[in-house]
């Protein structure tokens, strides 16, 4: 896991569910086929209504046109991010779109576990709800060693809760990679 992640923020409201992260009609693509799996990135967050993204009508979507990589790589959201079904595809879709981290005050347990177990995205918990303090497009720097988020656009810094025991799992690339690294399962 990189010590510092820089990029543009994409801000979402509270209770963003897994069907908004990757709508069910887009679950037909192969996860293992590199070309087909790009569609998960292409349709990531396509189910989020513009009002929940804090964007006016005519906003810049998370991914544009037929692109599968987003120009936003850090998501800042409200409480209960990833609620809904136990869709493992949700953190995978965000990773395919180029998201490196999600920062929210709280997560649905299953999304958090899927994000960590697969090593897809870093699910950081913020000390406060930052979705009202950060704007979509703000330039951010996430310092994983210091557990801080610095908003270069606004010149403000925010504390994040330490990753704790999940940090090494995410750094290894997921639960199975971590288990192999630690000699818990055969390589």
What does the pLDDT read at residue 76? Answer: 97
The mean-pLDDT minimum among 5-19, 59-73, 148-162 falls in: 59-73
9-33 mean pLDDT: 92
Q: How many domains does the chain have?
A: 1
In whole numbers, what is the pLDDT of the chain averaged over residues? 92
Predicted TM-score (pTM) of the model is: 0.92
What does the pLDDT read at residue 54? Answer: 58
**Does 187 reside within a domain?**
no
What letter would DSSP give residue 24? G
**Does 44 reside within a domain?**
yes
Task: Please tell me the distance from the alpha carbon of residue 61 to that of residue 71, in angstroms, as a whole number.
Answer: 10
9-31 mean pLDDT: 92
**Does 186 reside within a domain?**
no
Residue 121 has pLDDT above 90, yes or no: yes
Task: Report the percent of the chain where pLDDT is more than 90.
Answer: 79
Residue 118 has pLDDT above 70, yes or no: yes
Residue 83 has pLDDT above 80, yes or no: yes
DSSP annotation string for 31-53: SS-HHHHHHHHHTTTTTS-TTTT
What does the pLDDT read at residue 60? Answer: 60
80-94 mean pLDDT: 92
CATH number at residue 72: 3.20.19.10
140-165 mean pLDDT: 97
pLDDT band for position 85 (50/70/90)? confident
* SS3 category, 136: coil
Helix (H) or strand (E) holding 137: none
**Does 136 reside within a domain?**
yes
Task: Please tell me the distance from the alpha carbon of residue 11 to that of residue 75, in angstroms, as a whole number.
Answer: 6
Residue 77 lies in domain: 4-181
**Does 17 reside within a domain?**
yes
């Amino acid at each position: 896991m990189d010590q510092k992640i820089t990029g543009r923020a994409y801000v979402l409201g509270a209770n963003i569910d897994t069907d908004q992260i990757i709508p069910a009609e887009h679950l037909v693509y192969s996860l293992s086929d590199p070309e087909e799996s790009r569609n998960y990135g292409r349709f990531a967050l396509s189910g989020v209504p513009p009002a929940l993204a804090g964007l006016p009508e005519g906003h810049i979507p998370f991914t544009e046109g037929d692109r599968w990589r987003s120009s936003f790589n850090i998501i800042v959201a409200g409480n209960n991010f990833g609620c809904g079904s136990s869709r493992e595809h949700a953190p995978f879709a965000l990773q395919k779109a180029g998201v490196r981290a999600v920062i929210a005050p709280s997560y649905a347990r299953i999304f958090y576990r899927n994000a960590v177990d697969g090593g897809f995205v870093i699910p950081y918990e913020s000390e406060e709800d930052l979705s009202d303090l950060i704007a979509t497009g703000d330039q951010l720097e996430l310092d994983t060693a210091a557990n801080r988020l610095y908003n270069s656009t606004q010149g403000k810094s925010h504390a994040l809760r330490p990753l704790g025991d999940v940090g090494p799992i995410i750094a290894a690339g997921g639960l199975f990679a971590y288990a192999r690294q630690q000699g818990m399962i055969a390589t």
